Every structure is written in C-alpha cells, then in structure tokens.
Amino acid sequence: MPIDPLAPPIEVRGLSKTYRLGFWMSRKVQALKSLDLTVNAGEVCGLLGPNGAGKSTTIKVLMGLVKASDGEARLFGMAPRSKESRRQVGFVPENPAPYEYLTGKEFLDLAGRLAGLSGKSLDQRIGEVLQMVGMERAAGLQIRRYSKGMIQRIALGQAIIHKPRLLILDEPTSGLDPIGRRQMRDLILAERERGTAVLFCTHLIPDVETLCDRVAVLVGGKQVRQGSVKDLLTSEAPLFETVLEGVPLSQIHAWGYQPKYSKEIGDRLILRTSDQEAQSLVRKVSDWSGKIIQLQPVRFSLEDLFLDALTEVKDTVGTEIS
C-alpha cells in the first residue's frame, strides 16, 4: 500500500500505554495516558519532560517497539509497524547500542541494506553520511573502541542513511560534551532544512529552545502543554520583578497584592507581579517612603513553563495501578 503524501509524518490520538510487570504480570504501571500529538512535515517537535514522563514510551510505540494499550499512532497515515512507513523513518534510541564487533562503516552498510539500499548507491551514501556525521577517520575502527559521542554519531548516521522523511530521536544529545551537542544540533537543523520532520525527546531545555518549532510537555505520562514554542512563551502574562528595600512582605499583603513569587533577603524584598500590579506597587512604595532598587521585566522561559507544568500535575499516572 503506497503512503498518503498528505498524511502528517506523525499523528497520535488518545495514545495510552500500561505496562504489566512482575512474574505473573499482575502489576500494572500506566506510562502514558491519552496523548494527542501531530508532527507536520519539516517541523521539529520536542517532547519535553522529566524522567518517567512517558517520552521514551511514546517513541517506542511510534517505532513499533511496544504496543499501545489504547488509542492510535500513525506514521504517514500508516501503522507504525508497516514496512512502508518505516522506510520513511530514521530512529536513534536512547543510549544506542550498535553491534560492537562491526566497524562504523560496516554498521552503516548493514543499516543501508536493511533499508533497501545496495551497490554503488549505498557505497556513495555511506561516504556522504560518514562525512555528515564527522566519522570518516574512525569509520574503519570497531565500534567497541568508540567513545559515547562517536557511537551517538554513528547511530545518527544509520538513521539518516536512507534519507528518511521523519527522524525520531530519543535523547540525542545526552552524554555528549558541549562540542558534540553543538554538532548534533547542527545535524538536526540541517535535516530540518532538507524538509525532514523531527521528533525528539529530551529533558534538556536549551536543546528544545534551540531546535524546536513546537513542543509537547509530558509529566507523569500526561501531556500538560503543547504548542509552538513562541505561542507557549507569549501565552503567559508578562511578569515584572521588583526589588524593594524597607518594605516588609506583610505590608505588601496588607495593600492587597498577591505576588506570584516573593523572597525576603535581609531588608530587601524580591517580588514578581503582573505589569499593572508592578506600576501601582511602585507608586505605593514611593508614597510609603520605601526604596525601589530594581524594576525589570522577567523573560518567561521554557524552564518556567516546564516547572509550572510540573507543579500543576499531581496525578497518579506513571505509578502503579492497584
């Protein structure tokens, strides 16, 4: 069956996964609950969440490594386990483990053959990929001699060997040094330039800010935020941080203010309030003969968004079901 050219690379509806654990499979753990996600062509989407959030489970369902308990996942409009959809996908798992007894070049050759390439076109493509991932010099070495960064690169190489239209990457920058992380980011961005859709999961917020067009925040198996990075950051009302001297917090409360954040350090008070509250607060502090040390807008970051989402979710998803 040919793939639908208009179908999005990833379409997930109401996806849930419950693992059965223990010798008698009697213990149930819900790893993912009712996830909805769409990734369009040429888009980089980040799955952000703490450990145990369900990011890797989502990716494993998409790669057909685990079966969903409920809901549906489609790659290019087809089932994740179909060969046609897999031909369009490149995958790098978390802590990839290529065959250690092969050289980097041999592993790319195997990956290419399994993806349907052969002959001169495969040889040529191996050369290109080795250059792209910066592994030409180590291509003849057995993988058992590779560093973690080199393994990560060769794993990315095997994922892009067949020029996929979708890349699924599980923690692609984990364990890499700053230079390795930078190179990995550049490679992902180069793939996006080529029109490849990318879904990657991470708990590293700077990676998401640098790479992603859209982000889905998962906490405890539940999706708590989703949207474009820009929309998510601007949807929050801007906050102002005011540093005061000589005004106790009790007085701020007495004036009827409920700051989103407050901290007293000595006789200094740090407050975060809305724009309007900040303006009236400044007037009241001046009238009260208090001193305003600093007043500045606070840039709402993905980290704030992530931490807000974490405090909101107090559910039992990701824990054992009795």
Partner 1 sequence: MHSFAALALNGFREARRNRVTLVVGMFALALLGCTTLVTDVTVHTFYRVLTDVGLGVMSVMLVLLAIFLSSGLLSREIERRTVFLIVSKPISRSLFLVGRLAGNMLTLSVLLVGMGAVFFVEMLMFRINISSAQFVAIGVLWFELFLLSAFGFVMSSFSSQIVSAVVTTGMYFAGHLANDIYAISSRSKSAIIQVVGKITYYLLPNLSRLSYRPQASYALSVAPSEVLGSIAYGTTYAMALVALAIILFNRRDFK
By CB under 8 A, name the binding residues for partner 1.
19, 60, 63-67, 83-84, 86-87, 89, 91, 93, 95-99, 101-102, 106, 110-111, 113-116, 118, 155, 158
**Rounded to an integer, what distance in angstroms lies between the CA atom of residue 268 and that of residue 245?**
5
Beta carbon of residue 191, minimum distance to partner 1 (angstroms, whole number): 17
- Considering the complex, what minimum distance in angstroms separates the CB of residue 125 from partner 1? 15
Rounded Cα distance, 63 and 52, in Å: 18
Residue 260 CA neighbour count, 13 Å, CB half:
17
Q: Show the tokens assigned to 291.
A: 């001193």
Considering beta carbons, is residue 99 or 288 the nearer one to partner 1? 99
Comparing CB distances to partner 1, the nearer of 118 and 121 is 118
Indicate the residue among 93 and 259 with the shorter CB distance to partner 1. 93
Task: Identify the bridge partners of residue 74 per DSSP, sorted by sequence position.
Answer: 11
For the bound state, the minimum distance from the C-beta of residue 143 to partner 1, rounded and expressed in Å, comes to 10
Q: Under 8 Å CB-to-CB from 126, ≥6 apart: which residues?
A: 105, 108, 109, 112, 161
Q: Which is nearer to partner 1, 64 or 246 (CB)?
A: 64
Distance in Å, CB of 28 to partner 1, minimum:
13
* Rounded least distance, CB 151 to partner 1, Å: 11
- Least distance CB 100 / partner 1 (angstroms): 8
Angle at 44 between CA 202 and CA 234, to 5 degrees: 85
Residue 87 or 284 with smaller CB distance to partner 1: 87
> φ and ψ at 43, to 5 degrees?
-110, 140
d(CA 172, CA 167): 11
Which C-beta is closer to partner 1: that of 37 or that of 167?
Answer: 167
How is 238-268 classified by DSSP, letter by letter? PEEEEEEES--HHHHHHTT---SEEEEETTE
Which two three-digit tokens encode residue 280? 């009236």
